[in-house]
Amino acid sequence: MKNNNAKGILFIMVGMGIFSIQDALIKFIYEDAALYELYFGRTLTAGILLTSYLTFSKQKIILKTHYPFLTIFRVICFFFGFSLFYVSITFMSLAMANALFFSSPFFISILAMVFLKEHVGVRRWAAIFVGFVGVYIVLNPDFENFTMMDLAPVGCALCYATSMTITKVTSDKDNVYTQMIHLYIGAVTISIIFFIFTGKGQFNTFTDPSFQFIFREWFTNPMYAWPFIIMMGITATFSFYFVFSAYSIASPSTVSVFEYSLIIWSIIIGYLLFDDIPNIRTFVGVILIISAGIYIYIREKAREQYIVTENPIR
């Protein structure tokens, strides 16, 4: 029974804290590894740990999906969505990147209305509008220094929302571990394809550090970078364990609200490790985003239409 809310809240906050550490590790080493080298190593490590856990706990590993086309599309959306997020960390503070990523509940609500035919009333539309106002305030586009790259975390949120909307459909027949394994297999496969075509750094002709991160040659500094990359895979595994445990032992509509603790963790980690201090404008935008997201959770619970609240945001 999903009634252990106190333990679930603790688990979700620990999971979000570990996610913030993973993000900090990316920010530490992005100048010493390629994006998809990092993605490959992180995912391979997490995949090995997951399959080891399933093997030792004597749970059946099921690779077959009942929705092959939707699964492939979900994997692609998830992969490139978090590619955008990892790139955003190279030029944004952890707090800003995660605050913008939390626009995903607004996209999920819109996609659920369009594709799942769920009803979104006036009050939820108002919350979505307020949330996007918060996104605008955090971005603070002056249209002189603003670039499309500044929208990378928002692009990640949209891709993630698409992935979670598909998960709403596929979860009736594919269990959570099957879907996670698909994400890992897909990420490793796509990363290898990138290695084949870009792994020698032949397209790394950019001066911008973010684009260098994308197209840098692989394995240029493995002795330094790969311990961090492996640690990312380990932290990701523990994060997912705590998050999915929270959703399994407690009420999803309760624990989902505490996913916003990731922003608080990101502010703390960003300050301690990178001396990043959000300004007043960012705080105002974050408050609007969190308030709008929590209101959407409340309205979903009131109407018993669970699409945002029943799936982890990270």
pLDDT of residue 224: 94
pLDDT of residue 212: 96
Q: What band does 84 get if pLDDT is binned at 50, 70 and 90? A: very high
pLDDT more than 90, % of the chain: 64
pLDDT of residue 1: 45
Q: What is the pLDDT of residues 122-146, one digit of tens each?
A: 988 999 999 999 999 999 877 677 7
**Contact at 8 Å (CB) between 120 and 110?**
yes
Residue 312 has pLDDT above 80, yes or no: no
**147's torsion region: left (phi>0), alpha (psi -120 to 50) or beta?**
beta
CB 10: neighbour CB atoms within 10 A? Answer: 16
Which residue ranges make up each domain of the chain?
Answer: 5-303
Q: What is the pLDDT of residues 143-187, one digit of tens each?
A: 677 788 999 999 999 999 999 889 888 888 988 889 889 999 999
